[in-house]
């Protein structure tokens, strides 16, 4: 049985990753995943947070936002309200953790890599698209440091992508769009390496609890999707880690 948009349960949406999307940042990517579109940029700041001063170690921090026009019904601007909502905090922390976990921060020196993920258009899966796109921008920015001679090699061992999975009408499916996401009884985001190892699992039984068997199906779907995403990342980056 096909999904409302014609996809099979284990199909991801069409993906397009545009590298060097902007002229100013050290790394920049537009990732399109179906109708979801996110600009991911990496900017290098020659400072570290206070707790790392003098440590010789670098840092990675992430921020996330949705443009007011990215959603159906205008999304209020957090800058105007004067504070980030809880969901934004949750997502920026997830993106930061995911990318920090694959970079050897001892090898980049005392710099901060700012990851910015700005959702231009939202149709489900914006946080996982952010991670998948930001990873490409990050490798690209580090690669430029290698080309400039600042770094000897890219201090990253694994490819990393992220994808959402969920259970809709009792069927586990891969890469939920917004319409599916709002009807999911279980919702899970998975961040995984090209070795098939987990960096992060966040699963919620929003409407009802889920059992072990369902968990296994979801993780298998996620693995399939992540492998496909990593192939696309490789073809865009053309870099061997």
Q: Does 149 bind a second copy (CB under 8 A)?
A: no
- Map the footprint of a second copy across residues 113-132, applying CB under 8 A: 114, 116, 118, 120-122
Locate 110 and state its tokens. Answer: 């005392």
User: Within 13 Å and on the Cβ side, how many CA atoms surround 184?
Assistant: 27
Single residue of 9, 52, 67, 232 touching a second copy by CB under 8 A = 67
**Residue 3 labeled ligand binder:** no
CA pair distance 74, 29, nearest whole angstrom: 24
CA pair distance 42, 45, nearest whole angstrom: 10
- Map the footprint of a second copy across residues 69-88, applying CB under 8 A: 69-74, 77-80, 82-84, 86-88
**Residue 127 labeled ligand binder:** yes
Locate 24 and state its tokens. Answer: 């100013």
CB contact at 8 A, 31 and 37:
yes
Task: Identify the CA nearest to 125 among candidates 101, 94, 96.
Answer: 94
Q: Does 20 bind a second copy (CB under 8 A)?
A: no
Burial class (CB in 10 A: 0-12, 13-18, 19+), 220: middle
| Binding residue count for a second copy, defined by CB under 8 A | 66
- Map the footprint of a second copy across residues 196-235, applying CB under 8 A: 196-212, 215, 219
Q: Enumerate binding residues for a second copy (CB under 8 A).
A: 22-25, 28, 35, 39, 41, 43, 45, 63, 65, 67-74, 77-80, 82-84, 86-90, 92-93, 97, 101, 114, 116, 118, 120-122, 158, 188, 192-193, 195-212, 215, 219
Which residues does the annotation place in the binding site for phosphate?
Answer: 87, 125-127
Which residues does the annotation place in the binding site?
Answer: 87, 125-127
């Amino acid at each position: 049985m096909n999904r409302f948009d014609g996809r099979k349960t284990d199909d991801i949406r069409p993906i397009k990753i545009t590298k060097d999307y902007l002229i100013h940042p050290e790394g920049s990517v537009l990732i399109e995943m179906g109708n979801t579109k996110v600009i991911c940029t990496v900017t290098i700041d020659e400072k570290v947070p206070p707790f790392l001063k003098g440590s010789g170690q670098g840092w990675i921090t992430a921020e996330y936002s949705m443009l007011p026009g990215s959603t159906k019904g205008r999304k209020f601007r957090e800058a105007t309200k004067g504070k980030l909502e809880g969901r934004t905090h949750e997502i920026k922390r997830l993106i930061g953790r995911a990318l920090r976990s694959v970079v050897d921060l001892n090898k980049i020196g005392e710099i901060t890599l700012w990851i910015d993920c700005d959702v231009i258009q939202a149709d489900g899966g914006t946080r996982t698209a952010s991670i998948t796109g930001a990873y490409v921008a990050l490798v690209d920015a580090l690669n430029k440091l290698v080309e400039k001679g600042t770094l000897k090699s890219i201090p990253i061992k694994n490819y990393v992508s992220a994808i959402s999975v969920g259970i809709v009408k009792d069927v586990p499916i891969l890469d939920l769009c917004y319409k599916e996401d709002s009807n999911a009884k279980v919702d899970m985001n998975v961040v995984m390496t090209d070795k098939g190892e987990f960096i992060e699992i966040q699963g919620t039984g929003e409407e009802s609890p889920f059992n072990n068997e369902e968990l296994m199906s979801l993780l298998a779907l996620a693995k399939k999707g992540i492998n496909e995403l990593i192939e696309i990342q490789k073809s865009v980056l053309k870099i061997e880690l």
